[in-house]
Structure 1
Amino acid sequence: MKITDIEYRTVSIPFLPAIEEHSGMVYPTTIVWVHTDEGITGLGESNAVHSDITEQADQIAERYIGKNVWDFDFADEGITFQSAFYDIAGQALGVPAHKLIGRQHRESVELAYWSPPMPPEATAAESERAANLGFRVHKLKARKATIVETARLVREACGPDFELRVDPNTEFGDLETGIRLAEELQPYNIEVYEDPIRFEDLSWYSELRKHTDVPVARHVGGIQEILRNIQADAVDAINTQGNVSGIRKSAAVAEAADIPIWVQCFAFGCCVVSTFVAHLVSTIPNCTMPIDELPHIRVDDLSGGSMNLTNGAIQLSDEPGLGLHLDMDAVERYRIK
């Protein structure tokens, strides 16, 4: 089965109003169609903020056009094209993509809700919206000046079972501040304390864990970095990223230390990468925490309902490949290139 053509369309889908208001982000994404001579087309997606895949179209064509899909090692390809290849292969064989990756451990993959730094009242309103939609974890881009008040208001709005993933991207700064805020957040339902302080010295993280019962996480990629954090007693959980091969290796290292993981492969994509990542992590035993793929924070996920996102989770079907059927009217509506 030979690749005959690769098609690209870049879209810019607005974020939900509250997120749009407080983030100021414009985050385009490029959908990729890989066509074959057997009439099967696979879907991939590329981050169009940090690099424009269309600028590499000639090199990509040289690598793939005219080649047999089955000659590629799917697991080691970059995530854009491995998504398309697993989609093609699944359709050709009549099986869902996850069956080509590994044994499935869950049919439903939870997603975290997400918001940028916002005033506490606005964040609590978004948490309430998320809870009403069935999400059980809200990831906050937290700030030390407002996080405790935010957690209090979220608790009032959503009750004691709704969890917060506190991720300040090290804005809490030093160990002393990290410990103090962990103590102040103790009364609230903090799922995990992700990258709260600087990490030049991992002994800060091991010391932080000694002073709080709040689980501490790092966002790290690659088995060497994950192993270094485990050996330093720096983590209770890991947020990681990569392709199929890389994530499965990283997850295995964490699993050997009895550490749960979640993944953030793309974050601000649409239904394509989110569905592919859901297929992938459904095969990973210790990927038990809601993942940071966020198609639900935009006004449209482009799936036309073919991505079944219910109660804060992607419900994987038995349809061949990714099981997606894009709403092409929506693709054209938001297309910028």
Structure 2
Amino acid sequence: MKIVKVESFLIDIPWKEEVRKYMAWAAQGSRTWLYKVHTDDGIVGLCENPRDARGLASQLIGRNPFDFILDDSVWPLQEALYDIMAQALKVPIYKVLGHKYRNKVPVCYWSHHFPPEVLAKEAIKAAEEGFTVHKFKARPHYDPVEQVKAISEAVPEMAIIPDANGSLWLPSKAISFARKVERYNIFCLESPIPQSDVEGYLTIKAKVDVPIAIHMGDPDPIISLATDMVDYYVLEVPGVWSTFRYAAAAEVAGGTMTASGAEGKGYTVGGRPVWLEGFGRTAIAEAFQVHLAAVIKMSTLPSPFFLHRLREHTLAEDPLMVREGQVEVPEKPGLGITLDERALKKYLVS
């Protein structure tokens, strides 16, 4: 089996009307790329990513997809190659990636730094769609305490992740914020101050009861793990092998935890729990991330894969569904979902 062609489609799926005005502030635009990787025996692998990866196509032509197992140099096309491998073996992608630790992957709803009244409406919609955790971007544009309050009053049972991306700046401000919102159902506080401030995080952790999360990688994982500066880690790194490396680091950190495994079997491990964050914008990328999260032992926290919920279309005929805050890991060969070709044509830019 050899790769014979790589097709690239630049698409633009608009944000839904109710959030379009506010998503204009977002770093990620509405455009993304859909890639189809073809083999000489008729298998087509799919991946989606905002990165322009057309320059990687020449590295794939004439090669066997299995040559690229754990090879992050061809990311994001790497995801399409795993789709091909799994289809060729007639198995779901997770079986090519590793041991499946869970049949269902926890996920959370995601919002940008919307005003409180918009976040309240988003929380109601999230609950109706099966989510139990709501992550939002906390920024100086709006009072983050009021944002948390709006979500909580709209859906009291909704757990909340305020993600400041370091914008609270000072440990004192982060501590003050945490104490003001701890009365609500706070899942954790993500990156309250710049992640390089190790001493600041140790101060926050010592003075508040709210769990703290940061993206692994800043500071160096050796420092963050050795100092035990946070409770949770976010894994947002390009490539399967890089994700596995960071996940392995999280597994040897901290204390112990007990989680539910596949077929209901529990397992106890040392380490810090993580959630994954992907780079894609549609249900195509989301499906791959669900397979990846299923094989990472420490990925027991809700991951915000479902950014396509804010767009007019998922780009799939059969997108994965959220029930009670979880998504079932697909069992069909490959990604386990089907590209909506009519939607691809409708939103095609070039």
TM over 0.5: yes
Structure 1 contact 86–97 (Cα < 8 Å) conserved: yes
Distance 2:30 2:123 in 1: 22
Which residue among 282, 287, 295 is the counterpart of 2:308?
Answer: 295
Cα offsets for 1:114-145 (capped at 9, x unmatched) = 11112211111111111121111111111355
Q: 1:313 to 1:19 in 2, by over 3 A?
A: farther
Q: 1:31 to 1:313 in 2, by over 3 A?
A: farther
1:234 is the counterpart of 2:234: no
Q: 1:118 maps to which residue?
A: 114
1:90 and 1:74 mapped to 2: Cα distance? 14
Instruction: Quote the Cα distance in structure 2 between the aligned partners of 1:133 and 1:77.
Output: 36
1:309 CA drift (Å): 1.7
1:277 aligns with 2:280: no
In the alignment, the residues of structure 2 paired with residue 3 and residue 78 of structure 1 have an alpha-carbon distance, to the nearest angstrom, of 13
In 1, distance between residues paired with 2:91 and 2:314? 24
1:15 matched to which residue of 2? 15
Partner Cα separation in structure 2 for residue 309 and residue 326 of structure 1: 15
Return the alpha-carbon distance in structure 1 between the equivalents of residues 196 and 65 of structure 2: 43
Q: 1:218 touches 1:239 (CA, 8 Å); kept in 2?
A: yes
Report what 2:155 is aligned to. Answer: 158
1:253-308 alpha-carbon deviations (Å, 9 max, x no partner): 11112211011121x51112111111011011110111122222212111111x32
Is 1:260–1:289's contact at 8 Å kept on the other side of the alignment? yes
**Superposition pairs of residues 26-41 of structure 1, within 5 angstroms:** 26-41=29-44
Q: TM-score, normalised by structure 2?
A: 0.88
Instruction: Give the Cα separation in 2 of the matches to 1:28 and 1:204.
Output: 37
Structure 2 equivalent of residue 199 of structure 1: 195
Would you say the 8 A contact 1:221–1:241 is kept in 2? no
Give the 5 Å matches for 1:1-337: 1-24=1-24, 25=26, 26-48=29-51, 52-54=52-54, 56=55, 60-143=56-139, 145-159=142-156, 161-221=157-217, 225-242=220-237, 243-257=239-253, 258-266=271-279, 268-293=280-305, 294-305=307-318, 307-311=319-323, 312-337=325-350
TM-score (norm 1): 0.91
Q: CA deviation at 1:165?
A: 0.8
- Structure 1 residue 17: Cα displacement: 2.4
Q: Give the Cα–Cα distance (whole angstroms) in 2 for the partners of residues 104 and 228 of structure 1.
A: 30
Mapped contact 2:68–2:78 kept (Cα < 8 A) = no
Once residues 194 and 68 of structure 2 are traced to their aligned partners in structure 1, the CA distance between those partners, rounded to angstroms, is 40
Alpha-carbon shift at residue 246 of structure 1 (Å)? 1.3
Q: Any idea what SS the aligned residue of 1:134 has?
A: coil
Q: Deviations over 1:43-100 (max 9, x none)?
A: 122214xxx333x2xxx23311112223223454443222111111111111111001
Answer yes or no: is the 8 Å Cα contact 1:29–1:45 preserved in 2. Answer: yes
Asked if structure 2 preserves the Cα contact closer than 8 Å seen for 1:275 and 1:314, the reply is: no
Gaps of 5+ in 2: 254-270
Q: How far apart in 1 are the matches of 2:120 and 2:60?
A: 47
Match of 2:303, SS state, is: coil
* RMSD over aligned Cα atoms: 1.7
**CA, structure 1 residues 335+227, in 2 after alignment: closer, same or farther (shift >3 Å)?**
same
- Contact 1:183/1:212, CA 8 A, preserved across alignment: yes
Measured at CA, do residues 333 and 174 of structure 1 come closer, stay the same or move farther in structure 2, by a change above 3 Å?
A: same
Do the aligned partners of 1:12 and 1:27 also contact (CA within 8 Å) in 2?
yes
Query: How far apart, in 1, do the equivalents of 2:327 and 2:342 lie?
Result: 23
Secondary structure of residue in 2 paired with 1:191? coil
Q: Aligned partners of 1:182, 1:70: CA distance in 2, in Å? A: 48
**What is the CA–CA distance in structure 2 between the aligned matches of 1:108 and 1:19, rounded to whole Å?**
29
Structure 2: distance between partners of 1:226 and 1:200: 11
Alpha-carbon separation, structure 1, partners of 2:182 and 2:124:
21
Once residues 53 and 57 of structure 2 are traced to their aligned partners in structure 1, the CA distance between those partners, rounded to angstroms, is: 12
Distance 2:154 2:21 in 1: 21
What amino acid is aligned across from residue 234 of structure 2 in structure 1?
A: N
| Distance of 1:274 and 1:308 partners within structure 2 | 8
Worse-superposed segment, 39-48 or 88-97: 39-48
8 Å CA contact 2:211–2:231 kept in 1: the answer is: yes
Paired letter, 1:119: P
Q: Tell me if structure 2 keeps the 8 A contact 1:239–1:263.
A: yes
Shift of 1:157: 1.2
Q: Name the aligned partner's letter for residue 238 of structure 1.
A: Y
**CA distance in structure 2 between the partners assigned to 1:170 and 1:135 by the alignment:** 26
